[in-house]
Amino acid sequence: MRTLRIGYFSASPILALARAHGLFARHGLAIEAEPVTSSPAQFSSLHVGAYDLVLTSPDNVASYRFGTDNRLGVRVDVRIIRAVDGGLGLSLLGTHGVRCVDDLRGRVIAVDVPDSGFAFALYELLATHGLRRGTDYDIIAMGSTPRRAVALREGRCHATLLNGGLVVAAETAGLVNLGRISDVVRPYLATVLAATGQWLDTHPVIVRQFSDAWQQAVTLLLAAGADIDPLLADVFRVPATGVPTIRRVLHDPAEGLRPARPGHAVRAGGGHRGHAMNPEPVHLTVNGADHDVDCEPDTPLLYVLRNDLGLTAAKFGCGLGSCGACTVLVDGRPTHSCDTPVWSVAGKQIRTLEGLGDAARPHPLQRAFIAEQAMQCGYCIAGIIVTASTLDRGLDEAQVRAALDGNLCRCGAHNRIVRAIMACHD
Ligand code: FES
Ligand code: FES
């Protein structure tokens, strides 16, 4: 299981639903997500590799990627890999006694930081009511949205922007919603998923798997019925009576979740390798036959072999390049097809177990494995025979065992497997 670490400002219903349904585990991924209180903390963790991904705002990405004066003092090569939501009800809430925007003249309004995307949206909202920044109200920086919600409740500011369950909680407590950001700034993108370019480039298959699980969760979330109400109540920390409001916000085209447009799945590398959004077919040569396959270029080779070409000898074991069940030959070299993006093997010679031999004309190794009864369940065997087919003759047992170090067998058939290979090479 590969663990991905994610830093977020507000708990994500998408992550929660994906976890609840085992969508990440299905791809061999475990998610460790933790809240962060500030963008410098979030981006420094991303920069040093303590986080693989962040749920953040697009202006943070711009600031840390391009700004020479960001609060880390260094540029971070961070890329947006997908839009997440439009603010989830992002609204200006006033403290007790504030009944309308005009009541904020001369008062203190809390922002995360004065130059954030949230803050600029706030200034715009206030401007539509005739309140000018620097003249008609004072600004105070108070950090993340949950912190500002506490400050509002305690009267340490007179108004601030809140979203999601915090709006529901504030309204339930009798505070007045003075205006929604989506009414004045449209289209508005509040949350994005981002990672460093280096991480995206070096983990194309994991990005793809994560993206698939994420998209499944978004689709499930938008299609779900009342069965997920307890999950929504938990994530947004609202009572059951607040869940219908949350549900409305999630589905709101302006403020809610951003489903991927058809054909626009997130791809590894954040698309910055220049792959077309509607890719050309990928040309593959497998077992001597040519194929043009319609697929995303970052699709793992294993998926294409099994699902598109019907070559099912190679198996999905770990999906992480650790077990060898998916081994095929690429230009004669044993290769884990589970974490090999298909674009990287276009034009190369790919050989699977089916290309080594079949029931009518078995490869000498296949004959030896049958003679030695070297399989138990057989799940690992295709990868093992493919790997063994590249070994020189004359190796001793220790050398054969060392050569098969990357091919795991859960059934404990190792001794028979090694005997079969040695017999074949005699
Ligand atoms: S499935 Fe385990 S290495 Fe590919
Ligand atoms: S024979 Fe079952 S995993 Fe190897």
Domains of the chain: 2-86+189-251 (3.40.190.10), 91-183 (3.40.190.10), 270-426 (3.10.20.30)
In this structure, the strands spanning 29-35 and 2-8 are parallel
Strand, coil or helix: 343: helix
Is ligand 2 within 6 A of the CB of residue 105? Answer: no
User: Which residue intervals of 263-396 are DSSP H helices?
Assistant: 301-303, 353-356, 364-372, 381-388
**Phi, psi (deg, nearest 5) at residue 45:** -65, -40
Q: CA triplet 67, 71, 76: central angle to 5 degrees?
A: 55
Is ligand 1 within 6 A of the CB of residue 408? Answer: no
| Ligand nearest, relative to CA of residue 323 | 1
CA–centroid distance, 339 to ligand 1, in Å, is 8
Nearest residue (CA) to ligand 2, atom 2:
377
Is ligand 2 within 6 A of the CB of residue 408? Answer: no
Q: In whole angstroms, what is the distance from residue 421 CA to residue 392 CA?
A: 11
Q: Mark the ranges of the chain whose per-residue pLDDT is less than 70.
A: 260-279
CA–centroid distance, 67 to ligand 1, in Å, is 41
Is ligand 1 within 6 A of the CB of residue 205? Answer: no
pLDDT number for residue 339: 83
Q: In whole angstroms, what is the distance from residue 179 CA to residue 333 CA?
A: 62
- Single out the residue of 109, 246, 240 nearest to residue 167, CA to CA: 246
Is ligand 2 within 6 A of the CB of residue 228? Answer: no
Would you say 300 and 330 are in contact if contact means Cβ atoms under 8 Å apart? no
Of 2, 27, 318, the one to substitute when testing ligand 1's pocket (max ligand atoms within 8 A of C-beta) is 318
| Ligand nearest, relative to CA of residue 410 | 2
CA–centroid distance, 335 to ligand 1, in Å, is 9
Would you say 298 and 342 are in contact if contact means Cβ atoms under 8 Å apart? yes
pLDDT number for residue 270: 36
CA–centroid distance, 418 to ligand 2, in Å, is 13
Is ligand 2 within 6 A of the CB of residue 416? Answer: no
Q: In whole angstroms, what is the distance from residue 38 CA to residue 35 CA?
A: 9
Is ligand 1 within 6 A of the CB of residue 323? Answer: yes
Q: In whole angstroms, what is the distance from residue 51 CA to residue 82 CA?
A: 17
In this structure, the strands spanning 333-336 and 349-351 are unpaired
Is ligand 1 within 6 A of the CB of residue 322? Answer: yes
Would you say 255 and 89 are in contact if contact means Cβ atoms under 8 Å apart? yes
pLDDT digits (tens, 9 = 90+) for 158-173: 999 999 999 999 999 8
Which residue do the tokens 């919600």 mark?
A: 149
State the amino acid at position 100 in one-letter form.
Answer: C
Q: Kindly report the number of other CB atoms within 10 A of residue 237's CB atom.
A: 14
Q: Dihedral, CA atoms, 70, 71, 75, 80, nearest 10 degrees? A: -80
- Single out the residue of 410, 322, 316 nearest to residue 2, CA to CA: 322
Is ligand 2 within 6 A of the CB of residue 378? Answer: yes
Whole-prediction pTM: 0.60
Is ligand 2 within 6 A of the CB of residue 375? Answer: yes
Half-sphere exposure of 3 (CA within 13 A, CB side): 6
pLDDT number for residue 275: 39
CA–centroid distance, 415 to ligand 2, in Å, is 12
Nearest residue (CA) to ligand 2, atom 4:
409
In this structure, the strands spanning 327-330 and 333-336 are antiparallel
Q: Kindly report the number of other CB atoms within 10 A of residue 371's CB atom.
A: 12
Q: In whole angstroms, what is the distance from residue 350 CA to residue 8 CA?
A: 41
pLDDT number for residue 223: 84
Strand, coil or helix: 25: helix
CA–centroid distance, 338 to ligand 1, in Å, is 5
pLDDT number for residue 279: 54
The DSSP bridge partners found for residue 91 are: 162, 180
